[in-house]
Amino acid sequence: MTTLGKLTEIYINDMTGGRPNSDDQFDERFVAEQIRNLLNEVLRRQIIENYSSDDRSNPGTFKVAYHDISIQKEANTGRKFAELPEFFLSLPHNKGLASVYHTKEPYNSFYPCHTPEVTAELYEMPLSHRQPYHQEGMKIFFHRKDVDKNHKEVSMVLVIAAPEKYDIDDVLPLTSEMASQVIALMKERRLPLMPQDQLSDNKALNAQ
Amino acid sequence: MKNLDFIARNALGDYGYGMERYEQFLGWAYWGWREVFMDQGHTSEVTPLSINEAMEADLPNDFVDWVSVYYESRNRKVTFVHDSNLAKRPSTVPEKETCALTLNQYSRSLANRYLDLYGPDVGRRFGGGTLMNSTGYFNVDYHRKTMQFNAVHFEKNPIMLEYISNNIEHSGNILVHEYAVDMVRQYIHWQRAKFSRTGSRSEAELAKRDYDDAKTLAVTRFNPVTVKGVIEAMTSSRSLSPRTF
């Protein structure tokens, strides 16, 4: 079981030679944020880009659901929309946004319109009972006006390795190789940022 | 009966896609269903027409083509005659206000029956012949989605329209007959191969072959050739053939 806090501690411990103290240059909050970003990068590089052409489904381990997001009405255009809780992994066909559905109907998912300028009102009304939607920035717009007729809240499932929803002590759904990859990558990227003397004699600043 | 949603999701499952391609597949399912509909699945609907002051009626939303236009009188159908040369009427009829006749009276008048039938096309009046019936004529104006009549004097008996419907229920789903479900699915696969940017031409041709097989199977199921049917056809053809002595 790995948590963001545990990864942060391992990294700081490694970098300070096992003697972290208040004088060192590592702030846990920033380290945790960096690890969070790197986890997503590793997820993409290690797992998703190595998929064979037959593996088209999203990795279920890294899906995270946000529930009870209220449907709102845009003042200017009158369109119904819901706010994205956070951004997700950039995948082909916008598959990082894995699913949108009414919270009470988890398997009656909506379907995305990738080019609403072309297809809006073309295939929607008569062909399917499902709700079409498209994304603009951090908003998900629903094409049908009756989207909030029976249910006022939607859920969104995002593909993301370390979502902001998970606190520093929450268990992350990570594979063990991802954890070690992230620590190694953190150290690698930290190297050019180290002070010059530390690069040359390989001694920590506080040890001098 | 299966709906297009079912077929589109099945085809998505064949490739392991998620909902990200659903819209595209649903569109192809629609066109595949349309192929079925044009050959086999069409249905005819009957609806009363509400005719306005300009002697025209709006066509239903799911109208494809007309079958018959009639009114019922003493338990028999009296059909109107389709005349494609009937003069197209304007959307408003100003002369109606000046002639002070009711719609019923105007329809019965000789002026309407003989003089207004072909509008300004005077020469057509002399070629009327058998078209000069007393029931009336109609023509379909596809551009304005209206059905136009030259006479409507059947206020008590509503004029009925029997038409081929495209079966789209605007609140629900299109249903595909069970025989044609696989045909629509194969149509989706063919279209995907055809429009694929990376696929080859031969892949699309193979997919087309699969679709043709599924279509043949569907048509066979819709119109099965049975021994009984063949014998009936032979019998009727014999009885209809001219007798030779």
Give the pLDDT band of residue B104 (cuts 50, 70, 90): low
Q: Give me the helix-helix angle, A176-190 and A28-42, nearest 10°.
A: 120
Output B131 or A150, whichever has higher pLDDT. A150
Output B120 or A28, whichever has higher pLDDT. A28
B16 and A125: CB-CB below 8 Å?
Answer: no
Least confident of A127-131, B162-166, B169-173: B169-173
Strand order in the sheet with B160-165: B43-48, B160-165, B63-73, B76-79
What pLDDT shows up at residue B128? 45
Q: Does B14 touch chain A (CB under 8 A)?
A: no
Residues B75-96 have a mean pLDDT of: 69
Query: Can you give the pLDDT of all 208 residues of chain A as single tens digits?
Result: 788 888 888 888 888 777 776 666 778 888 888 888 888 888 877 777 776 655 666 678 888 999 999 999 999 999 999 999 998 888 878 888 999 999 999 999 999 998 888 887 776 656 788 889 999 999 999 988 889 889 999 999 998 888 888 888 888 888 777 888 888 888 887 765 655 555 555 565 565 4
Residue B223 CA to residue A206 CA, distance in Å, equals: 89
Residue A32 CA to residue A168 CA, distance in Å, equals: 8
Residue A91 CA to residue A44 CA, distance in Å, equals: 9
Q: Which two tokens stand for residue A101?
A: 């559905």
What pLDDT shows up at residue A190? 73
Q: What pairs with residue A81 in β-bridges?
A: A72, A141
The total of other beta-carbon atoms located within 10 Å of residue A49's CB is: 8
Q: Which two tokens stand for residue A14?
A: 């490694």
A58 and B16: CB-CB below 8 Å?
Answer: no
Which residue has 């789209």 as its token pair?
B168
Q: What pairs with residue B162 in β-bridges?
A: B46, B68
| Residue partners of A114: CB distance under 8 A and separation at least 6 | A93, A94, A134, B20, B23
The total of other beta-carbon atoms located within 10 Å of residue A14's CB is: 14
Closest CB to A57: pick one of B18, B27, B174: B18
Which residues on chain B are in Cβ contact (under 8 Å) with A93? 20-21
Closest by CA position to A133, among listed A122, A125, A142, A124:
A142
Give chain A's contact residues with B (Cβ, < 8 Å). Answer: 54-58, 93-95, 98-99, 109-114, 119, 122-123, 125-130, 132
Closest CB to B19: pick one of A111, A123, A125: A111
Choosing among B19, B21, B62, B175, which should be mutated to test the A contact, i.e. which has the most A CBs within 10 A? B19
What pLDDT shows up at residue B106? 61
> Which alpha helices (H) appear in B167-200, and where do they start and end?
181-195
Closest CB to A111: pick one of B16, B23, B169: B23
Residues B12-19 have a mean pLDDT of: 87
Whole-prediction pTM: 0.71
